[in-house]
Amino acid sequence: MTTDLTTPAPAPTQAAPIQRRTMRLLFSTQIVAGVGVTIGVAVGGLLAARVAGTALAGVAQSAAVVGAALLAVPVTRIMTSRGRRPGLILAYLVGAAGGVLVVVATATHVVPLLFVGMLLFGGGTAANLQARYAAVDLAEPARRGRQLSIIVWATTIGAVAAPNLAAVAERLTRSWGLPPLAGPFAFSSAAFALTSVVLLVLMRPDPLVTARRLAAAAVSAAGDAARDEHPHGTGMAAAWRMVRARPAARLGVAALAVGHVVMVAVMAMTPVRLGEFHDDADVLRVVGLVLSLHIAGMYAFSPVVGWLTDRFGRRAVILGGVAVLLAACAVAGTAGHHTPELSIGLTLLGLGWSGTMVAGSTLLSESVPPGVRPSVQGLSDLIMGLAGASAAAASGFVMREAGYPTLTLLAAIATVPLVALALRRVPERVPTEEE
């Protein structure tokens, strides 16, 4: 552990201005980096189809999801030892390097290089996910849900702007001699690099390091004997033991993973479903509209979800999110060839995901001691990412063999273990360092 705890800890009253500055910084960087991430999602499938062929386009997209999940491990290891700032910077720089490799692969038509580039491009997503946890390091307990949700909400701005900026980036980079669809990834790389520089310069003091110093000062003031800051270890194995030992942590991880599985499985096959009853000239416009409503459901209402999380409790909002996910599956699965009903289902799907994401992340963050928090958060993002990638892969098979209504039914059934876990009462409090 290299964090310097010998530096005098700021007083609790000094943490408030640091938290406000951190929130402003994270909100701004989430917008910029969110543009980079969403551009990749918007054009990644089309680009992969041109370079690798339609059959491998889904594999290339999945590579970015898996990359985001796997990168959570080294990123959180760095955060554990040195704080949020270096971990976030590393993830964004890896994402920037991935975008450059995608551009090179597009120009050279080297398919393996495209997969490597997409894998590394997932670093941008990994950083955006981890940024939400930086928002609660110094947050007051009664405001953790709202502050985390504000950073999630910032992604909405980037997601809305990204499709238009993708077209602008394509036009601007055409004079550089880049092949079609490569320009947006160059733009994404620039966005990630800019975000890294801003964090390097402005994320001082580091919120996680500051939170640890406050915790250490509180222990000292209480007259407790000196002890190892990480009595349980800080690796993924220690994080797994911590999650297994704490019911609240288990519920937080389960909410994140199950909510993501349901959302990804249904969302991934919705464009295919729309393609069954819209012709080629109309399907892209309809898919764009439906997915825009879905993204709005995911992010636009997150401040309200955060307020509900703080007002009524984490467990209640997780259960509410599950209820909305079930409603989404019912509406989408019975919509038939009615696009308006399918749009409502996808909007509800995003809203239900927001409930499990915001409340689950908040509960997880406050259910483990500060010393192991980054490792546990990284483990949760790893599980969530791999679960989502598995759901995306399985959804195509289910869609082909049994159809879209069966897919939504299976997605609804997947929530049963989460409901059972959430109905068991778990403590919602911040554990002390010795726990």
CATH assignment at residue 20:
1.20.1250.20
Pair (182, 277) in one structural domain? no
Per-residue confidence (pLDDT) for residue 432, from 0 to 100: 46
Nearest to 376 by CA among 276, 271, 244: 244
* Core vs surface per residue 259-298: b (16+ CB within 10 A) or e: bbbbbbbbbbbbbbbbeeebeeeebeebbeebbbbbbbbb
Residue 378 lies in a domain: yes
Angle of helix 373-402 relative to helix 404-413, nearest 10 degrees, comes to: 150
Pair (280, 132) in one structural domain? no
Helix boundaries (H) for 109-204:
111-134, 144-174, 183-202
Residue 373 lies in a domain: yes
User: How many domains would you assign to the chain?
Assistant: 2
CA–CA distance, 274 with 251 (Å, rounded to integer):
34
CA–CA distance, 28 with 19 (Å, rounded to integer):
14
Pair (334, 208) in one structural domain? no
CA–CA distance, 64 with 355 (Å, rounded to integer):
24
CA–CA distance, 227 with 160 (Å, rounded to integer):
48
CB 251 within 8 A of CB 421: yes
Pair (285, 393) in one structural domain? yes
Residue 3 lies in a domain: no
Residue 224 lies in a domain: no
CA–CA distance, 129 with 135 (Å, rounded to integer):
11
Residue 379 lies in a domain: yes
Pair (208, 254) in one structural domain? no
Residue 280 pLDDT level (bands cut at 50, 70, 90): low
CA–CA distance, 431 with 354 (Å, rounded to integer):
25
Pair (301, 196) in one structural domain? no
Pair (159, 268) in one structural domain? no
Identify the weakest region by mean pLDDT among 21-25, 215-219, 393-397: 215-219
Per-residue confidence (pLDDT) for residue 47, from 0 to 100: 80
Q: Which domain holds residue 122?
A: 12-216
CB 240 within 8 A of CB 376: no
For 219-235, write each residue's pLDDT tens digit: 666 555 444 445 445 67
pTM of the complete model beyond 0.85 = no
